Structure 1
């Protein structure tokens, strides 16, 4: 077993920390849409100015500067709108810093891999653990040039990191670059401009517990009335007292509507965001709030009724049910999804596959075991080179999207979710389980065997099957090995103790009668710590 990395201990995945639900703002009048665009455009201008100030402060930013920014914004909006804008700017700067750190790690991994492959002779064969040298002198020369490019990029990003500089685009870098490729995107300049302006609007307000209906800036009553607190320069647009504008639309949340109503009636904090989908010509309202930490379920309790091992793949989820002892039950299951098409289609496919999976687990009172996957450092072209199909396969696995969806949906259904170390699950599953589970009518795939391995690891059992008895009619003369002892039993994989008697065949059966008629010269203690020990007293006829 030398050279294998240490396998991490399985753990229960904590539930989501917040909830987000969305509904459509229907039947808006032309005046309502005009007011929403004016308010969003005005607050978006303030948010862009504040984000610029936050990025300029860099690492020198402190609470005093935060207070100064908020006071400057309060004069042109309100105190609560200013608080929401400054908090959003700070969160966006922090997100850019995390992305910058991930970019540094990616560059370092690429440089280390290229350096390793350049140090090997040209044409060196790769092994299972590390790639070999480059295939030709031409490829070697091209990679040596790329190494210098990556080193220059790393040096520039490190300089930005140390100085606290981040580069953020309000509205999104992808949408900004689309402006230069309108033909490929199938957009005209007015259509792109409309999307750009909608993305840069700011219509989100943080909740506040104790205030009326949990939010003062964007207020939603229990009967679905939506009103906004207008910024100071736009108070003249108010159609309700105290500088508020009431929309003609009425909203209702189909998903988690009862939870939302309970929070509204209790005046607990709820954050709202209003945005426009220019492609569909619709307006949406999103409500979010935090969840109190759920009580932690012991890992032993989650394993009581068995496990549903799940192996994640690029186009399907392979699952197999296991009993508490780690034995596969029934037939393997496959929950397919298609990740081609738009983002909305891909998200719906993942959601439908997880719904079928979790409904099966709920019906049989099973916990779900899944690998704790992270392909951040595994899908680089520096490591896999020209294996573009393999890189595309890894990149196509929806690990982050699936993880987020699975955690929230499992918590909603009350299903325990156990994450296991993905090390060697596919290899050992195929080695120890694929052939034993194969029948004339069932041919498990490598992914099905990996699901069994994942489930056994989550249950605390070793992946490999217990050693079967040796040949020679499975008797002790060929050193019988038990397959019935529990995992914690000492010596369960060793030979049984050779205690005299006909059952163990340590001595001929006829010797038992002779020994029973004689008085032994010595008293031998044949007690054993093993649970299969045989009594030393021999019965006489």
Structure 2
């Protein structure tokens, strides 16, 4: 079809490369909390200084400067604490660079869209592939001014990118801006200050294989004892040998605790992070480690038992089970979630919907097919103009968060995830599948039809259903169907089944009965003890 872009081939999504588990630090004494705050505040101050040094170095930073930064921090902490601080600063600078690059792409997309619409006559209608002109001269003038604003902003950001300058706020830019809107956030100045200090503390240490229990700085024994290596200025707070402080409470990991115990017992590297939740008044311990990449299942093996096509939406997941031939089986599935409220609530909603989806796939031994979505360029207000509801709808779809959660949870259950190109799945699904899947007791939605289209694309079948039979009585006059069953597949494409015994039209008529009934020659009474029933169409390639 002309004007349509070429779709990419489906592929098996690789599994996660790391594991993160979290538990609560319970039964902490006041002294424990006091020591954790002092250590976190001290290391947080060092981390802020080091991040400033790293950002000032920009693109000129090298391994020698990294070693120099670490040597400066070591006397005020320890060699291992200094290594963790410098690595965290480098990672934060790299994250800011990636965000800066994404911001440049967004500005370029907005400038291109405005320039295109300004070049068109006022009031000219657009098409599916390109927006039209602006509605009025007033809007045209306002957008022309915005074009100059975006161009100036792009020049500044591009200059920062070329110079290697980034702008980072330890503790988070959002929380920093909340300081100026305390009434809207429902916080008092002391409450915000407490939360800001908690976010700026530094209590994380990288693991090291071969060392005792996989980490010398923050050590957690298999029986749950937590101890911290104190920085040199705070060594007087130690309650154990070698400048260590042992917490009163014990920890246990309910989720993946056996795997963590195996790593700790084998002295394999485990990184830890201690964080305070000031809203709940709780302390948490997070353990992370890397895992070797699992061998990807071949795409042909993932298609053996069929596919579970999943369409991602702003408030639910629409799914439909398909067999290996691409035929929808059973009824459509819907897994809803509510993304309003806090971040913890939204994350819990996504996990609850995904676990129900994956449990269904595990029961039927199905692979999961999902679109390889990326809406970073679709949420700009320049692309969809006044369609604010549509922009909010796109922005509300949890693409990256859902994709990361799905891959991680599917790997734990041994379920293969297949990513497909999202091009035209909703449009073609509604065109070819929404009406055929609608019955008197079930009304298929556009999202259900899109799930079928996604599943068929993951199976390697075209989205469209089987075409109509040839217009003439013989297929060799007009050609075969453009979409047919595979060779050897039983169905109406093959010959009729052979029925033993005489054929109906080969049996000689009963002369006595014919004379008695006086049936005219134009009427023929054809009866048979055998009846051939045409098999239903197989919706295959």
TM-score (structure 1 length as normaliser): 0.89
* Structure-1 residue corresponding to 2:462: 462
Q: Which runs of 4+ in 1 moved over 6 A?
A: none
Paired position in structure 2 for 1:39: 39
Corresponding residue number in structure 1 for 2:502: none
Partner residue, 1:101: 101
Equivalent pairs counted in the alignment come to 492
Whether the 8 Å CA contact 1:13–1:418 is kept in 2: the answer is yes
Measure, in 2, the Cα distance between the counterparts of 1:55 and 1:298.
44
**Counterpart check, 1:399 vs 2:377:** no
Partner of 1:260: 260
Residue 22 (structure 1) aligned with residue 26 (structure 2): no
1:218 matched residue in structure 2: 218
Q: Distance in 2 between matches of 1:410 and 1:49?
A: 41
Measured in 2, the distance between the counterparts of 1:476 and 1:10 equals 33
2:232 is equivalent to residue 235 of structure 1: no
Please give the secondary structure, in 1, of the residue aligned with 2:24: strand
Distance in 2 of aligned mates of 1:382 and 1:437: 37
Separation in structure 1 between the aligned mates of residue 353 and residue 47 of structure 2, nearest angstrom: 39
Residue number in structure 2 paired with 1:313: 313
Distance 2:35 2:97 in 1: 35
Quote the residue 1:118 is aligned against: 118
1:413 is displaced (CA, Å) by: 0.5
Give how far 1:469 is off.
1.1
TM-score, structure 2 as length reference: 0.89
* Secondary structure at the counterpart of residue 166 of structure 1: coil
Runs (5+) with no aligned partner, structure 1: 490-494, 497-508, 510-541
Q: Measure the CA separation in 2 of the matches of 1:266 and 1:130.
A: 59
Match of 2:353 in 1: 353
> Is the contact between residue 100 and residue 161 of structure 1 (CA under 8 Å) also seen in structure 2?
yes
Query: Secondary structure, in 3 states, of the residue corresponding to 1:249?
Result: strand
Question: 1-side partners of 2:85 and 2:422: how far apart?
Answer: 41
What's the offset of the Cα at 1:470? 3.9
- The 1:121–1:247 alpha-carbon spacing in structure 2 relative to 1, beyond 3 Å, is same
The answer for the alignment partner of 2:206 in structure 1 is 206
- Relative distance call for 1:488 and 1:237 in structure 2 (3 A) is farther
Label 1:147 to 1:219 Cα distance change in 2 as closer, same or farther (>3 A): same
Other-structure match for 1:492 = none
Helix, strand or coil: the match of 1:75? helix
TM-superposed CA distance for 1:479, in Å, is 3.4
Within the alignment, does 1:92 sit opposite 2:92 as a pair? yes
- What RMSD, in angstroms, separates the aligned Cα atoms of the two structures? 1.7
Q: 1-side partners of 2:97 and 2:478: how far apart? A: 62
Q: Conserved in 1, the CA contact under 8 Å of 2:471 and 2:478?
A: no
CA separation of 1:112/1:242 partners in 2, compared to 1, >3 Å: closer, same or farther?
A: same
Partner of 2:161: 161
Q: Map of 1:297-336 to 2, 5 A cutoff?
A: 297-336=297-336
CA displacement at 1:476 relative to structure 2: 4.0
Residue 295 of structure 1 corresponds to 295
The alpha-carbon distance between structure 1 residues 401 and 484, as it changes in their structure 2 partners (threshold 3 A), is: closer
* Deviation sequence 1:207-243 (CA, Å, 0-9, x none): 0000000000000000000000000000000000011
Cα distance change of structure 1 residues 435 and 375 upon mapping to structure 2, 3 Å threshold: same
2:532 aligned partner: none
CA distance, structure 2, for counterparts of residue 343 and residue 161 of structure 1? 31
Cα offset for 1:331? Answer: 0.7
**What SS does structure 2 have at the residue aligned with 1:209?**
coil
Unaligned regions of 5+ residues in structure 2, if any? 495-504, 506-541
Conserved 8 A contact 1:469-1:480: no
The answer to whether the Cα contact below 8 Å between 2:207 and 2:214 also exists between their aligned partners in 1 is yes
